[in-house]
Amino acid sequence: MIELTNVSYTYPHTVQPALHRITLSLEKGRCVMVTGPSGAGKTSLCLAASGILHHEYGGKKEGSVVIDKKNVSEYSSLSDLAQNVGVVFDDPEAQMIFTTVEEEILSALEHRGLTAEVIEDRLSRIMKTTYLEELKDRSPHNLSGGQKQRVALAATLALGNDILILDEPTSELDEHATRRIADILKDLKDQGKTILLIEHKFGHFRGMVDTLIVLENGRITSGGAPDEVLKDDHIRGMILPDFSKVKKNARSVVSGEPVISVQNLTHCYGDVKALSGITLTIRKGEFIAIVGENGSGKTTLVKHFNHLLSPTSGDVIVNGKNTKTCSIAALACDVGLVFQNPDHMFFADTVREEIAYGVKNLNVKNGDAVIDAALRDAGLYESAGLYPRWLSRGERQRLGIACVVAMQPSVIVLDEPTTGLDGYEALLVIDILKNLQENGHTIIIITHNRDIADHCADRIITMESGKIISDTGGA
Amino acid sequence: MAEILQYVHKDTFLHRLHPYTKIVSIIIVCVMCIIATNLVFLTFMVLAILVFAAYSRLLTESLQQLKLILVMSVLFILVTLITMPNGDILGYMIPEGVPVLGGLIPVTSGGLEIGLVLTFRFMILIFAFQLFLISTQPRDLVNAMEKAGLPIDYILMFIIALRFIPTLQIEGQRIHEAQLARGFNPGTGFIGKIRSVAPIAIPLVSNALLRSTVLGLTIDMRGYRTGKKTHVRERVLATRDYTVMSVLTVAGCGFIALVMTQMV
């Protein structure tokens, strides 16, 4: 259905080709999964295979792309291509134009030249396949990431094409939501759809992938049946990272002095009780993982540590100070918070300036030396002069950590520090965190990745509906 | 969080009206409030719109921007008091007892009246337009605008601008929190305030620009701009639409006639 032959592509104003002599064939009813480190050219490949690159982008293009027996240049426009190919892009928010789920899918159906009866019939079938029936009147900002991703997929399915191209449809999703997407895609494949899937999480899609392709630096470095490809240790480590070798902290920290002590904390958003009766002591030097489903209150809890949220009742004591009496800026010296996807917050012109921002705000002594150290810790010393948004996803995640480390807080909290990263990048992040722990920092991570929690953390706190339901270091 | 100008899904009389009816109604209401200078009548119109909002179970949503409206109202009244003194002097903004400046800026009945008239007109326009947007499904709006002959690109622009207000609000909030955690200092003084905008505004704008690429591709790949379209679940003008339009037209004409005769 899709044939790429010797496709090379260089973006305008750049020298390095984003894609280099890519040859790839996608047969009817098959599923090809493309994986690789961030910045390897996966999104460019997705654009090339869908014909978008040919029609919408400048730059140097070589090779040929044939979609459904027709060369891409024979298609007159994107709308013409859309008669054959459905593409789900990586940002689900940008793929919702209307204000309810049903409208979104219906509008996509209306432009296919179908009769009203067929449209109604297809609408109800698509809503069922993507489990969106109950959400039909919801607006985009009232949907979770996984739900938005399903809407984007549903609107693309509405086009009724046999070829589906998906660019990291699960990158920001938790286990549960990822599994749901994987199930839907499996059903679609069984219905005979041809699927090109760009993904990191091979494990979830293992059952449906016919061909696994590894893309590195714009080149295909390996490809074939998944089991064959995964025999290579390097590729295995990238796709199915092994966290069991991460060294655990040898020292016992149970006797350490408490740095954060939460007493009977309750927090309500309006009428909704997000946290209820949380009591918790975190000691100096601990490495804690907080796990739990979406909406269980993990992020709400950690936002109390630096007073981004105030307790509805109860107290949070950080380094002997009650957070109620401190400003957020004052607490930034004690608790550093790295948000999920910190790359959306960068604003400076260089990596160095980005780190310097927090350092200046807090008047940290020996600012320059501290910034150098943070750059080195995060493995970004060579990139200090680059524009933050040019970095790869993994580098940006590390920059987010460096920004907080440079402020020298005793406690560092990270919300989903490994989401969207490949195996090696995730391990690198964990390594950095382990080193920080060695240097006396207390590390708290929120994670969906059970492997990371089990192998890297000294203590695992599990949350459910605003309560702590288990705590392996329970004091 | 307050969702500015977003469609609220409910099943009420107002929601069932055809977008055309609502547009015609808004035009009539606008004309009426611009012609009217009678404070009692304008107050009546504001109340009537709010009663109608309550009837459509949209009162809370309608009053979301009340704070902004009140601030604007105070500004309107201040400006007219200062720039358009007229009629009886009711008092002075700076009490007469104050040395040197005492007795400056008189509060006049004429100035106050003009200020109040402007305020009420402003309220009527905002409330009516807001009520229209939050009770009309965007797809109905698109259909109506298409039928009215507006080019699809402009319609999409309008719809997308509305749709992304809450997204930007939420994202702005998230960026603000992230920068606060990095010791962001909201800044003092005029220059400080301007400088402190950068850490929030730059990421917000960069993210939005990045998003616009995907948005553009999505619009094309879904064929929204091809112009061919099967209309399903279309709203047709029903008896209630004709009734509402007739009643409002009669009321509007009657009102204009009344004003004309009074003028003569």
Q: Residue A408: CA atoms inside 13 Å, Cβ hemisphere, count?
A: 15
Residue A216, SS3 per DSSP: strand
- Quote ipTM for the complex: 0.86
pLDDT digits 0-9 by tens, A51-78: 999 998 988 999 999 999 999 999 998 8
- Residues 6 or more apart whose Cβ sits within 8 Å of residue A296: A463, A464, A465, A466
Shortest alpha-carbon distance between residue B182 and chain A (Å): 5
Name every chain B residue with its beta carbon within 8 A of the beta carbon of A303. Answer: 177
Alpha helices in chain B (DSSP H): 13-16, 19-35, 39-55, 59-62, 66-83, 109-134, 138-147, 152-181, 189-221, 239-263
- Residues 6 or more apart whose Cβ sits within 8 Å of residue B81: B93, B105, B107, B108, B111, B112, B115
Range scoring the smallest mean pLDDT among A243-247, B62-66, B81-85, B126-130:
A243-247
* pLDDT of the residue at A326: 87
Q: Which residue of A has its CA nearest to B169?
A: A141
pLDDT digits 0-9 by tens, A208-227: 999 999 999 999 999 999 99
* pLDDT of the residue at A137: 87
What is the distance between the alpha carbons of residues B111 and B87, in angstroms, rounded to a whole number?
Answer: 8
Name every chain A residue with its beta carbon within 8 A of the beta carbon of B176. Answer: none
* pLDDT of the residue at A75: 92
Q: A255 versus A63: which is more confidently predicted?
A: A63
Asked whether the beta carbons of residue A111 and residue B159 sit closer than 8 angstroms, the reply is: no
Core vs surface per residue B210-240: b (16+ CB within 10 A) or e: ebeebbebbbbbbbbebeebeebbebeeeee
DSSP 3-state helix, strand, coil percentages of chain A (rounded to 5)? 40, 25, 35
Asked whether the beta carbons of residue B230 and residue A115 sit closer than 8 angstroms, the reply is: yes
- Reply yes or no on whether the pLDDT at A474 is more than 70: no
Average pLDDT value for chain B: 88
Name every chain A residue with its beta carbon within 8 A of the beta carbon of B133. Answer: none
- Answer yes or no: are the C-beta atoms of B127 and B49 closer than 8 Å: yes
pLDDT band at B262 (very low <50, low <70, confident <90, very high): confident
Percentage of chain B surpassing pLDDT 90?
Answer: 41
Joined tokens for residue B100:
């040197």
Nearest residue, CB atoms, B163 vs list A97, A329, A362 = A97
Shortest alpha-carbon distance between residue A344 and chain B (Å): 6
Best interface-test mutation with A: which of B195, B197, B221, B231 has the largest number of A CBs within 10 A?
B221
* pLDDT of the residue at B65: 83
pLDDT digits 0-9 by tens, A346-368: 999 999 999 999 888 888 888 89
pLDDT band at B5 (very low <50, low <70, confident <90, very high): confident
Total residues found in chain A within this entry: 475
- Answer yes or no: are the C-beta atoms of A39 and A218 closer than 8 Å: no
Name every chain A residue with its beta carbon within 8 A of the beta carbon of B3. Answer: 139, 141
Name every chain A residue with its beta carbon within 8 A of the beta carbon of B228. Answer: 111, 113
* pLDDT of the residue at A5: 94
Joined tokens for residue A452:
């990371």
Joined tokens for residue B80:
């007219």
pLDDT digits 0-9 by tens, B166-189: 889 889 988 988 888 888 877 677
- Reply yes or no on whether the pLDDT at A472 is more than 90: no
Least Cα distance to A144 among A318, A299, A311 occurs for: A299
In whole angstroms, how far apart are CA A414 and each of A248, A396, A420, A429? Answer: 18, 14, 14, 11
pLDDT band at A330 (very low <50, low <70, confident <90, very high): confident
- Reply yes or no on whether the pLDDT at A127 is more than 90: yes
* pLDDT of the residue at B263: 65
Q: Residue A63: CA atoms inside 13 Å, Cβ hemisphere, count?
A: 21
Shortest alpha-carbon distance between residue B226 and chain A (Å): 7
State mean pLDDT over A272-287. 91
* pLDDT of the residue at A250: 56
Please give the backbone phi and psi of residue B85, each rounded to the nearest 5 degrees, phi first: -65, 135
Average pLDDT value for chain A: 89
Residue in the structure block whose two tokens are 């894609």 = A19
State mean pLDDT over A297-306. 92
Pairing of strands A2-10, A60-67: antiparallel
- Reply yes or no on whether the pLDDT at A126 is more than 90: yes
Across the A:B interface, residue pairs with CB atoms under 8 Å apart total 169
- Residues 6 or more apart whose Cβ sits within 8 Å of residue A339: A345, A400, A415, B174, B177, B178, B181
- Reply yes or no on whether the pLDDT at B235 is more than 90: no
What is the distance between the alpha carbons of residues A285 and A439, in angstroms, rounded to a whole number?
Answer: 9
pLDDT digits 0-9 by tens, B94-148: 777 777 777 777 888 888 889 999 999 999 999 999 999 999 998 899 989 988 8
- Reply yes or no on whether the pLDDT at B1 is more than 70: no
Name every chain A residue with its beta carbon within 8 A of the beta carbon of B185. Answer: 329, 361
pTM: 0.86
